[in-house]
Structure 1
Amino acid sequence: MRILGIDPGTMILGYGVIDSDGDAVALVAYDALKCRSRCSMGERLFFLYRSLCEVISEYQPDEIAIETPFVAENARTALAIGKAQAIALLAAASNSIPAFEYSPTAIKYNTASYGASSKQQVQEMVRLQLNLKDAPTPNDCADALAAAICHVRQSRLNNLTGGK
C-alpha cells in the first residue's frame, strides 16, 4: 500500500510518500511545498491545492494521512494550518483517495512510542524506521513521513482488532 503523509502549513507544507507491506515501511519520496510570503492567502492555498494534486498524480497513493492542527496559544496559526489541512482534504477528495486525520500526539505515539516525543525524537525514529542515513529535512517532511508511518501502524492495528 502506498501512503502519502501530509504536514499542513500555509508557508511550508511537507509531504512524504511511503510504501508499506504489512508492518514494513519503505521511503518513496519526500519534499516540501514552499509558498512565497508575498502571496495572498488565496494564492497560497491555490498553489498548495494544485501542487498536491500534482504530487498525487505522480505518486498515486492509495490513502492519505494528514496531521491535524495543534491548537495551543496561537489561534491565528491554528486557523492558517486548518486552511492548509482543508486543502489537503480537498485534494484527496478530488482524486477519490481516502484521507485520514491524526493528531500530533497520535502521530508521535505511533512513530516514536511516546505521545509527548520531541521533534528530534520523531525525526530520529522516522530516520531509523525508513533506514535513512540522515533525518529528513525540513521538519515538515519528517512530520509528514511520521503521519504516513502512523497511518500504517494505526491501519494495521484496526485490521487486527476489527476497529475502524
Structure 2
Amino acid sequence: MRIIGIDPGYAIVGFGVVDYIGGKFSVKDFGAITTDKDTPFPKRLCEIYEDYCQILDNWKPDALSIERLYFTNNQKTGIDVAQARGIIIMAAAQRGIEINEYTPLQVKQAVVGYGQAVKKQVQEMTKNILKLPFVPKPDDTADALAMTICHAQTSGSLLRNIKTSNI
C-alpha cells in the first residue's frame, strides 16, 4: 500500500510518501509545499493545489492520511488551514484515493505508543521506524511522515479485526 501523509497548512504543507508492504516501510519522497506570506490567500491555495496534484499524479498513492483539524485559540488561522485542508482532500477524492483522518492523539499513540508524547519523541520515533538518517525538516514534513506510520499501523489493526470477526 502506498500512503501519502499530509500535515495541512497554508504557509507550509508537509508531505510524505511511504510504501507499507509486508509490515515494512519504504520512504519514497517527503518535503513541504510552501507559499509566500505576501501572496494573496486565494493564489496560495492555487499553488498548494497545483503542487499537491503534481505529487499525487507522480506517486499515485492508494491512501491519504491527514490530520483531523482541531481549533485552537486563533480561529482565523484554523479557518484558513481548513480551506487548505479542503483542497487537499478534494484533490485526493478526485483521484479516487482513500481518505483517512487521524487526531494528534491517534498519531502519537500509533508512532510512540503513548498518546501524550511530545513532538520531539514523535519525530525521533518517525526517524527510527522509517530508518531515516535524520529527522526531516521542516517539522511539518516529519509530522506528515508520522501520519503515514499512523495509517499503516491503524489500517493493519482494522484489517486484523475484520478478519478475526469473520472467522
Give matches, 1:74-153, under 5 Å: 74-153=74-153
Q: In 2, are the aligned partners of 1:5 and 1:15 still within 8 Å (CA)?
A: yes
Give matches, 1:1-164, under 5 Å: 1-162=1-162
Give TM-score, length-normalised by structure 1: 0.95
User: For structure 2, which runs of at least 5 residues remain unmatched after alignment?
Assistant: none
Letter matched to residue 36 of structure 1 = D
1:107-164: CA deviations, max 9, x gaps?
111111111211111110110001111111110000000111100011001001119x
Letter matched to residue 161 of structure 2 = T
Which structure has the larger Rg over C-alpha atoms? 2
Distance 1:108 1:78 in 2: 21
Q: Percent identity?
A: 35
Q: In 2, are the aligned partners of 1:112 and 1:122 still within 8 Å (CA)?
A: yes
- Structure 1 stretches of at least 4 aligned residues deviating more than 4 Å after TM superposition: none
Q: In 2, are the aligned partners of 1:68 and 1:85 still within 8 Å (CA)?
A: no
User: For structure 1, which runs of at least 5 residues remain unmatched after alignment?
Assistant: none
Structure 1 residues 108-117 or 147-156, which shifts more? 108-117
Equivalent residue of 2:10, what SS? coil
Give TM-score, length-normalised by structure 2: 0.93
Q: In 2, are the aligned partners of 1:66 and 1:88 still within 8 Å (CA)?
A: no
Distance 1:109 1:20 in 2: 18
